Every structure is written in C-alpha cells, then in structure tokens.
Amino acid sequence: MQLTTEEVRRIATLGRLELTEDEVERYRTQLGSVLEYVAKLQEVDTKGIEEAAYGSVAEIAALRLDEAVRSDADTHTRLLEAFPSRQGNLLEVQAVFADRSVE
C-alpha cells in the first residue's frame, strides 16, 4: 500500500516532524513497505494459537549469572593492544545509558 505525499505530510504533522521533500518521498516508500508487511501479517491464520502474555523478563528468557571469565595471558595482551581506547588495563567503551538531565 503506497501512501500519498499528502498522507506522509499529515503523519509528519501529527508527529511534529518537519520533513524535506526528499524525506517525504523516502518515508512514503518506507511507510508503504511497512504497511504492506502488516497486511501480510493480517493474512496469517492464528486460529488455535494461544495468546502470549509475559509478566517479567524472567518468564521469557533464561538468564545466566554475569561471571568474569579469565583468558590466557596471550589473549589478554592481544585484546588490550587491539582495543582503541583504554587506560592501562581498563577498556573505555561508549556509554550505554546517558544521563539526559545533564544536557
């Protein structure tokens, strides 16, 4: 299902987005593909399949303990040397959770 440019602009307005003409065309194509996929999903026969509802992550995933595993000295040295940013034996990685209140 392809959307019109007017429909994309209306969706952008609802989302309070300002789009360029190139973005309108790109999103028109992309949103159309998403809607076509959703239409295919609507055709799937789900009769007899029980709904799945989960109360917690523990019910849907088997979690393992977070344990440090030592490597041999050669592997340890090669990893440290190959890591792009470090301080001594500490490896610097990009933040996963950023404190947005500081901005």
- Per-residue model confidence as pLDDT tens for the chain (103 residues): 789 999 999 999 999 999 999 999 999 999 999 999 999 999 999 888 887 766 555 555 667 778 888 889 999 889 888 988 888 888 888 887 766 555 5
Bridge partners, residue 86, by sequence:
91
Tell me which CATH code domain 5-42 carries: 1.10.20
The rounded distance, in Å, linking the Cα atoms of 99 and 103 is 8
The rounded distance, in Å, linking the Cα atoms of 32 and 25 is 11
The rounded distance, in Å, linking the Cα atoms of 86 and 102 is 25
Contact 28, 4 (CB under 8 A): yes
pTM above 0.75, yes or no: no
From the list 50, 43, 5, 46, the residue with the least C-alpha distance to 26 is 5
Q: What is the DSSP letter of 55?
A: S
Bridge partners, residue 91, by sequence:
86
Q: What is the DSSP letter of 43?
A: T
